[in-house]
Chain A
């Protein structure tokens, strides 16, 4: 089981890193968002136009500026987008018969979704790392604000950060891979992905501070799994609970429960999709 899983992960990654366009996208997509959205959309400056000196950390989840706030949200954003590609790729594998080749092979059925989730996780974690490195390096560019870590940010915090992202990546790719297996038509799959992606992203505190949301949206955002992830990560990165919605432990529990649900749902759907008709 391990050998075929590794072989399939390797196949998937080779397809990815050997396509120059994919590698260019890994860098340009986060660059666009960080530059055009993160730098231009400077809510912090707006907030300071008035006389009242609000503590911006209350608005920006512990960060003192919008860019630092959104850069962390951007890592979750990139996990979401990297994960949905895994669902699309498995639909292509069905179209081109690769999936039926796997179904004829003497391998446990579970290897098919598991290997795809694993390869998706490798890709999305790499992209999240690219986001963080790019955002931090903005400090070096005159005229740009960069992602400012708390001076006390250490190895344990980095591991915590990775854990949040891994849990998010697993739950999202489990969902999307299962959808990619069960939906047989690209248009439907893309429609479904859009239907999930945009609400998931924009009802969370990834890019927009919860404090600025209307009440109804705030209620939704507080239960959005992405909110748990970014809320926890910000507390680790900025080393403060000021402006946080939950404690780190509750954040971890929240995304943990979401992961368990998505893995369960994914397994159920994938099992159905891979059954012989």
Chain B
């Protein structure tokens, strides 16, 4: 708690506006043994947006959520939720937020409805409203028909949906979703996405979610912070993040060619190569707009009588964005704190050639 000296200071004017519901300012969590789980991160979350925290396992996502939901104390910096300091006024923060944790915490021995009733009691939902609200939420997550059954008879997806409904019982202003679809099959995941999108559309609730699925961040979030080794390394809309990757990738393979095909492509009028590599008969190029470039290249090849064996176009995805910003693939990441942080920083914004 060494760096909390400035936490009593009045809120920054620009941050205290009604539209900012989460303020994180140089937040830091260092565990014993100098493990920097969260290393001085700063960001704001605006009212009504779905804000995504994207990063590999061990990047610091859950620690951040844990601090924001008053379960863990930061070792430095400041965080406010709904205008309340998470360290000094945890009670007020708790009343305004909902949390759907990573692990399933619904009680197996109780029925779905009993779980909801318990949650209602814990959050002080008035008795007069409770029943109606529980019905409404069970309906929303399509569990109305199974509400009288013990939760141990539920599938993993149903439990997760019940967990989501529980998080909504007190109509929180901010909902924290920690890995909402972790371990769910594709179908259940898609339906979970629908629920979250519906929630946003119908209630204008602010949603803070963590995920290590790029598709998920892409499908749901208004803004995404890419976090790695406790640092926010990029923060923008999915579109802008993809744009930062800089254009489409085209891979062209020709059957037989003595000339350097990269040279030829470079010579085609109207083609502006951002980057390109060539190996044997295969060229890999990056252009701003593949739709415009590809016909020109192919026409040029035909006039030169070059036989094209295959063409592949890759639109930029968040996958590539992640690779771009961190220098690593997201999927096979086994994060160990601090190993390639510096490298990742150095690679930032540069096009990285792949074999």
Within 8 A of A (CB), among B91-128: 91, 94-95, 97, 99, 101, 103-105, 107, 109-110, 114, 117-118, 121-124
- Counting residue pairs across A and B whose Cβ atoms lie within 8 Å, the total is 67
Q: Are the CB atoms of A19 and B109 closer together than 8 Å?
A: yes
Interface residue count on the A side (C-beta < 8 Å) = 24
Q: Are the CB atoms of B95 and A106 closer together than 8 Å?
A: yes
Interface mask (A83-115 → B, CB under 8 Å = 1, otherwise 0): 000000000000011101111111100000000
Q: Are the CB atoms of B101 and A100 closer together than 8 Å?
A: yes
Q: Are the CB atoms of A101 and B121 closer together than 8 Å?
A: no
Q: A97-B101, A276-B73, A277-B72 are in contact. Are A18 and B124 (CB under 8 A)?
A: no
- Tell me which residues across on chain B come within 8 A of A7, comparing CB atoms: 117-118, 121-122
A248 CB to closest chain B CB, in angstroms?
41
- Tell me which residues across on chain B come within 8 A of A104, comparing CB atoms: 69-71, 94, 97, 99
B51 CB to closest chain A CB, in angstroms?
19
- Tell me which residues across on chain A come within 8 A of B103, comparing CB atoms: 96-97
Q: Are the CB atoms of A106 and B109 closer together than 8 Å?
A: no
A4 within 8 A of B: yes
Whole-angstrom distance between the alpha carbons of A277 and B32 in the complex?
A: 11
Chain B residue with the shortest CB-CB distance to A7: B121
A45 within 8 A of B: no
Whole-angstrom distance between the alpha carbons of A106 and B89 in the complex?
A: 11
Within 8 A of A (CB), among B125-179: 150
Chain A residue with the shortest CB-CB distance to B117: A7
- Tell me which residues across on chain B come within 8 A of A102, comparing CB atoms: 122
Chain B residue with the shortest CB-CB distance to A18: B109
Whole-angstrom distance between the alpha carbons of A105 and B95 in the complex?
A: 7
Across the interface, A100 reaches (CB within 8 A) one of B105, B110, B114, namely B105
B180 CB to closest chain A CB, in angstroms?
15
A184 within 8 A of B: no
- Tell me which residues across on chain A come within 8 A of B104, comparing CB atoms: 96-97
Across the interface, B94 reaches (CB within 8 A) one of A14, A97, A106, namely A106
Interface mask (A61-91 → B, CB under 8 Å = 1, otherwise 0): 0000000000000000000000000000000
- Tell me which residues across on chain A come within 8 A of B122, comparing CB atoms: 4, 7-8, 102, 105-107
Which residues of A are interface residues toward B (Cβ below 8 A)?
3-4, 6-8, 10-11, 14-15, 18-19, 96-98, 100-107, 276-277
Given contact pairs A97-B105, A104-B99, A107-B122, a sample of 5 additional A-B residue pairs in the complex whose CB atoms are under 8 Å apart = A4-B121, A11-B107, A96-B105, A104-B94, A104-B97
8 shortest interchain CB distances as A-B pairs = A7-B121, A97-B105, A106-B94, A97-B103, A105-B122, A15-B109, A101-B105, A106-B95
